[in-house]
Amino acid sequence: MSAEDRMSNRHDCGGDAAAYVLGALEPAEAEAFRTHLATCIFCRDEVAALQPVADALPMAAPQYNAPSGLRRRVLAAARAEARPAPTPDRRRTTGFRLPRPALAGALAVVLALAVIGVVNLASGGSSGVRVIPARVTALDASAQLRVTDGRAELVVRHFPPPPAGHIYEIWLQRGNGAPSPTKTLFSVTSSGAGNIGLPENMSGVSAVLVTPEPAGGSLAPTHAPVIVAPLT
Amino acid sequence: MQLVHDGEIRAFEVIFDRHSGVAFSLAYRMCGRRAMAEDIVQEAFLSLWRTGARYDRARGSVRSWVLSAVHNRAVDAFRREVVRDRQAVSDEGLAERLPAAEQTDLEVERRDDASQVRKALSELPADQRQVIELAYFGGFSHSQIAEVLHLPPGTVKGRMRLGLAKMRAAFGESAEVVL
């Protein structure tokens, strides 16, 4: 029986799954339904099918930017609340750090590229533009980083779109440290092209990495880099 | 240790910049009051900051976590209110509009997703759309909706189920919408 069949009316569990994912069950009903889910594959399938729809509903609201004053207040409060230093065990579970396998892979690629060396294809040294060819994993694709006065633009051509449900995320690596996320997420045009400006200053950056990540981006890379542009 | 803290602050800034817009939009849509929406979003992000070291990515994306926190806090705030004057906020317009300059059209992905979700929702039969909006954006339980609309609770839940299933089918027919 398919998930679609299970979602149909061929089971009789009270039809609570939709109300549950919408948060419309009373607290006691929701608790009872959670208990029920542990033993009912039909309702689990229905929740699994409907939850992404409920998760998408915030996008139906008129979209605004958060007020700038809110940003200042939240970040000031966060700075004022120094989090307790995580223990080694806790640090392994933090969402703000790079999983060790992904880190090892990223570092290996960067180190390999460091051996190959950086080719400066600037049309003229006086132009102040460094054109850094990047290593890409996709066949027939190309990417280069154009750095001007500490600002960079990633130019990709013939690049495949990210996998379904994913988006490309740009990371900056400083020294041998873990790549840190940027605010930049991107996809490519139907021809595989993209010119993506990075708002961050490249000072101190040793490499620019791109990984496919789940839509909305990640705090730490979950995939190996598909683009690596070494700056040092 | 200060470097560790600084690095976490930078990561937190990135998270805020990526997700605060949709989080604020959801809070504002739910409560219709800017100050209340800002308080809700602030609480949600600071909760993420305080518990970030225990965040488990297997439980979902950061955006899903933040939006769920915003939604839950808004519903909690509604339930604390003695007078639910937010019911006066119509579906068509908000009592307090933000300055136009703060309306964003910068994020193409976000705009496209929003357009697609709005289209799927708007194409539902009115009775199904109504119960979904009352439940999700209004924070009403199915029994409260049944009471307001003079419907059996089972009918309300059935309309929710049909509506969500149709939206799911609509997403499947067009470009993917994910959070």
Sheet holding A194-198, edge to edge: A129-133, A142-148, A151-157, A194-198
Average pLDDT over residues B168-177: 67
Convert A185-212 to b/e letters by CB count within 10 Å (16 or more is b). bbebeeebebebebebebeebbbbbbbb
- Tell me what percent of the residues of chain B surpass a pLDDT of 90: 36
Chosen domain end from A84, A106, A136: A84
Q: Do A81 and B132 touch (CB under 8 A)?
A: no
- Note whether residue A139 is domain-resident: yes
CATH of region B1-82: 1.10.1740.10
Q: Do A67 and B139 touch (CB under 8 A)?
A: no
CB-closest option in A73, A96, A216 to B61: A216
Tally of structural domains, chain A: 2
The more confidently predicted of residues A151 and B108 is A151
Residues sharing a CB contact under 8 Å with residue A142, sequence separation 6 or more, in sequence order: A133, A136, A156, A157, A158, A159
Q: Do A214 and B61 touch (CB under 8 A)?
A: yes
Shared domain for A106 and A198, answered yes or no, is yes
Closest of B69, B105, B11 to residue A217, by C-alpha: B11
The more confidently predicted of residues B128 and A221 is B128
| The pLDDT of residue A12 | 62
| The pLDDT of residue B20 | 92
Closest of B147, B31, B141 to residue A18, by C-alpha: B141
CA distance B170 to B179: 16
Q: Is the pLDDT of residue B70 over 90?
A: yes
| The pLDDT of residue B95 | 36
- How far is the alpha carbon of B82 from chain A, nearest alpha carbon, in Å? 18
Q: Is the pLDDT of residue B57 over 70?
A: no
Shared domain for A112 and A187, answered yes or no, is yes
| The pLDDT of residue A70 | 94
Contact A143, A186 (CB under 8 A): no
Q: What is the mean pLDDT of chain B?
A: 76
Chosen domain end from A53, A84, A115: A84
Q: What is the pTM of this model?
A: 0.58
- Note whether residue A93 is domain-resident: no
Contact B27, B136 (CB under 8 A): no
Chain A residue closest to B157 (CA)?
A19
Mutation choice for A interface testing from B42, B73, B136 by most A CBs within 10 A: B136
For the ranges A9-23, B63-77, B147-161, the one whose mean pLDDT is highest: B147-161
Domain containing A180 — which CATH number? 2.60.40
CA distance B88 to B131: 17
B1-82 and B107-179, same CATH topology: no
The more confidently predicted of residues A163 and B59 is A163
Residue written as token pair 């976490």: B8
Q: Is the pLDDT of residue B119 over 60?
A: yes
Q: Do A86 and B143 touch (CB under 8 A)?
A: no
User: Tell me: the pLDDT tens digits for B1-53?
Assistant: 343 455 678 888 888 988 899 999 999 999 888 899 999 999 999 988 887 64
- How far is the alpha carbon of A139 from chain B, nearest alpha carbon, in Å? 25
Contacts of A14 in chain B (CB under 8 A): 157
Q: Do A59 and B114 touch (CB under 8 A)?
A: yes
| The pLDDT of residue B110 | 62
Question: Which tokens in the block code for residue A90?
Answer: 């806790």
Shared domain for A126 and A185, answered yes or no, is yes
Contacts of A24 in chain B (CB under 8 A): 135-136, 140-142, 145, 160
- Tell me what percent of the residues of chain B surpass a pLDDT of 70: 69
Interface size between A and B, measured as CB pairs under 8 A:
248
User: Tell me: the pLDDT tens digits for B71-102?
Assistant: 988 888 877 664 344 444 443 344 344 444 34
The more confidently predicted of residues A224 and B166 is B166
Chosen domain end from A84, A112, A137: A84
CA distance A223 to A179: 12
The more confidently predicted of residues A183 and B169 is B169
Say which CATH topology domain B107-179 has: Arc Repressor Mutant, subunit A (1.10.10)
| The pLDDT of residue A195 | 81
Chain B residue closest to A95 (CA)?
B55
The more confidently predicted of residues B89 and B165 is B165
Mutation choice for B interface testing from A65, A98, A184, A201 by most B CBs within 10 A: A65
| The pLDDT of residue B108 | 58
- Give the DSSP letter string of A15-44: S-HHHHHTT-S-HHHHHHHHHHHTT-HHHH
Closest of B170, B8, B160, B179 to residue A84, by C-alpha: B8
Length of chain B: 179
Q: What 3-state DSSP class applies to A212?
A: strand
Q: Do B164 and A93 touch (CB under 8 A)?
A: no
CA distance A41 to B175: 28
Low-confidence spans in chain A with pLDDT less than 50: 1-9, 84-126
A165: containing domain? 98-230
Sequence ranges of the domains in chain B = 1-82, 107-179
Q: Do B165 and A95 touch (CB under 8 A)?
A: no
Q: Do A94 and B52 touch (CB under 8 A)?
A: yes
Measured between its terminal Cα atoms, the distance across chain A in Å is 56
Question: How would you class B131 by CB atoms within 10 Å of its CB: exposed for 0-12, middle for 13-18, buried for 19 or more?
Answer: buried
